[in-house]
Structure 1
Amino acid sequence: MTVRASDPTGLHRVLDDRVVLPQAAERLDTRKQLWPDEVRIRVERLNLDAASFRQLERKHRTDDGHDGEAVRREVLDIVSTRGKMQNPETGSGGMLVGTVEEVGPDSPLGLKVGDHVATLVSLTLTPLVIEDGLERWDGRSEQVPADGYAVLFGRSIAAVIPDDLDPALSLAVMDVCGAPALTRRVVAEYVQPVVAVIGGAGKSGSLSLAAARDAGAQRTVGIVPTEEERKLLEDSGVADQVVVADARDPIALRDAVAATGDLADVTVVCVDVPGCEGGAILATADSGTVIFFSMATSFSAAALGAEGLAADVRMLVGNGYAPGHAAYALELLRADAGVRGLFERRL
């Protein structure tokens, strides 16, 4: 096999016949030997993307619940077949925690051997090998104890895990740290806006609510699907108002937000179910912004839906990265006991 010259995007690890970036590749080269600008991580834990895990959970549902063993086998099959964790149905993956095992001499990431890190790039583009058969995972949670190795490229991102937080908690926060960073940036463009977060009791949702408040929102509205989540979010104090609505019902969602006092200037979508595009658009005032942070979003449905509704809204795709996003998310967690409580409950 011809060994390609190193490329900071990881192109040299792509095994497809056509030239594509690692995220779009069918298979990645998982050899242990590093190119000069790479870093190898000894994997301790994977955090599967919520949309991916829910799809696997639904696929392997039985009369007694879902078949965790079948989920475990499918994750192993995906990783061994593709050389990365990329759910073929959702296209999403997740991230991981581990310890730096080797650093190439030309790596620009600033990491050193022994650093305990969380990768801030998706598992969909990260060469990954699982060596323990995921024997410590029951297939019933997004967090996956694992032993193996992963490779980071010259343009990858990783953050050293802080000593004051449990690694599992840090991983859960860093998995969604792009959401609060972009939410803060967008909210700061408005003067005291109303901000609605769909999925406000979840990980990215609760952090986005905290970021909106931090950025000067006049009022924050958390939208949740059940009375149980309404109570959780109200008790946390993270949102100024909490409403129950099915985000897949556009009229119900619009009316629920409007009933809080007005439509939202900024709407943030943080749910892992399809069909929420129309409701998010209708819940947003003219000249407002909708931020989609869900891998279940159909961007064609969002674009065509806004056109069909004659909705003058800006729509943004949350790409999971902004400068300083990990540090900011951890800062919000430390500063807001309500956010931290919601995260710890999930763990």
Structure 2
Amino acid sequence: MAGSVGLQRVIEPPGVLPQAAWRLDASPEIGPDEVRIRVRRLNLDAASFRQLAEKHGGDGAKVRAEVLDIVATRGKMHNPVTGSGGMLIGVVEEVGPESPLGVEPGDRVATLVSLTLTPLRITDDLRDWDGLSEQVPADGTAILFGRSIVGVLPGDLPAELALAVYDVCGAPALVDRVARQYRDPTVLVLGGAGKSGSLSLAAAKRAGARTTAIVVSEAERDALAGAGVADEIAIADARNPVEVAEKAQADITVVCVDVPGCEHGAILATKPGGTVIFFSMATSFPAAALGAEGLAADVTMLVGNGYVPGHAAFAVDLLRTTPAVRALFEKRIAGD
């Protein structure tokens, strides 16, 4: 068990799992059940990138320097403020003889586990990254454990596009699972124009739901309208509980906004007996739990943990079969 979950990589504090550790051993030599990946690109999660960009006033050089410092200090990309990381793509270099992951040297892969638990070593000083985008060209090594999750990149999608989809693939899969538990559900997505938001809307539509999206601007509304995945689109500040609740009431509310303070609006907008799914690393779970109690809200609250069996294939299929959502992703990548 110890090797399969990466305990041997924990430096401090001893006895915790890699995600909870302050520092990991990111040395490239692998154990019997480990896999080493040559890193090609990181994808910082939206909450982490936003925090870093705001902290440094949009100065890309300072953002790059802090990411390098975090990785060098912690042996992983684990933002100490947001507690989040992201994921990566690369090429398999070496596979331990006891690895159960089913990959081979030369496979182009995406890690489907968080960078907060992935031993990571950067060897190029991120010289090709300007610090202004979530996607980070990089060279280095990463280690996967026996209980890690990894996906071979689909041959028909550019690597940058596949990385963007895999980064949020847990969201649409869980939305699909929950929506199918209701009869004729209504689904509200806060942050519907983003990556996880647009795929969650597409999943809800596929599951037969009537969908509403909350977005922050007219530009986001206009971009999302062409995708055809939202029956209604409203502009509101997701941090304003009353404003959100006045815009929509839904059986299922999905939070895909990468800023803090959206918990109470999601709760108020959810019908009694409904479900709130939090898919933002900016979520305060004490605020959610205590807020629901204080509002006497009879809602089930789920933490989107990023993993549902088959989530990667499900998300890629949504992208392939919903061209307008693919166009949203491609436009975002081009903007980055």
| Superposition TM-score, scaled by structure 1 size | 0.95
Structure 2 CA distance for aligned equivalents of residues 210 and 231 of structure 1:
17
State the 1:238 CA deviation: 1.8
Q: Distance in 1 between matches of 2:205 and 2:2?
A: 43
Distance in 2 of aligned mates of 1:30 and 1:210: 38
- The secondary structure found in structure 2 opposite 1:236 is coil
Alignment match of 1:18 (pick from 8, 11, 14): 14
CA contact (8 A) 1:6 1:37 kept: no
Alignment counterpart, residue 241 of structure 2, candidates 241, 244, 250: 250
* 1:1-347 aligned within 5 A: 7-61=3-57, 66-217=58-209, 219-257=210-248, 263-347=249-333
Distance 1:244 1:150 in 2: 41
SS of the aligned residue for 1:47 comes to strand
Q: Contact 1:6/1:35 (CA < 8 Å) preserved in 2?
A: no
Instruction: Give the 3-state SS of the residue equivalent to 1:70 in structure 2.
Output: helix
Whether the 8 Å contact between 2:42 and 2:137 is mirrored in structure 1 is yes
Instruction: State the SS of the aligned residue for 1:191.
Output: coil
The AA in structure 1 aligned to 2:88 is L
Instruction: Name structure 1 gaps, 5 residues minimum.
Output: 258-262
Cα distance in 2 for partners of 1:248, 1:163 equals 40
- CA distance in 1 between counterparts of 2:200 and 2:13 reads 41
Q: How far apart, in 2, do the equivalents of 1:149 and 1:6 lie?
A: 22
Residues 82-102 of structure 1: per-residue CA shift (max 9 Å, x gap): 000000100100000000000
1:17 Cα shift? Answer: 3.9
How many residues are matched?
333
Provide the secondary structure at the position in 2 that maps to 1:132: coil
Alignment deviations for residues 168-204 of structure 1 (CA, whole Å, 9 cap, x no partner) = 0000000000000000000000001010000000000
Between the aligned partners of 1:248 and 1:30, the Cα distance in structure 2 is 38
Name structure 2 gaps, 5 residues minimum.
Answer: none
Shift of 1:338: 1.5
CA contact (8 A) 1:293 1:317 kept: yes
Q: Give distance in 1, aligned partners of 2:20 and 2:130.
A: 29
The SS at the match of 1:15 is strand
User: Is the partner of 1:192 in helix, strand or coil?
Assistant: coil
Which consecutive aligned stretches of 4+ in structure 1 deviate over 6 angstroms post-superposition? none
**What secondary structure does 1:285 align onto?**
strand
Query: Following the alignment from structure 1 to structure 2, what is the Cα–Cα distance between the partners of residues 17 and 320?
Result: 25
Cα distance, 1:6 vs. partner? 5.2
The CA distance in 2 between the partners of 1:209 and 1:32, in whole Å, is 40
1:34-68 CA-to-partner distances (Å, cap 9, x unmatched) read 1100000000000001000000000000xxxx110
Instruction: Compute the displacement of 1:16 (Å).
Output: 1.1
Alignment partners' CA distance in 2, 1:159 and 1:18:
30
The AA in structure 2 aligned to 1:73 is A
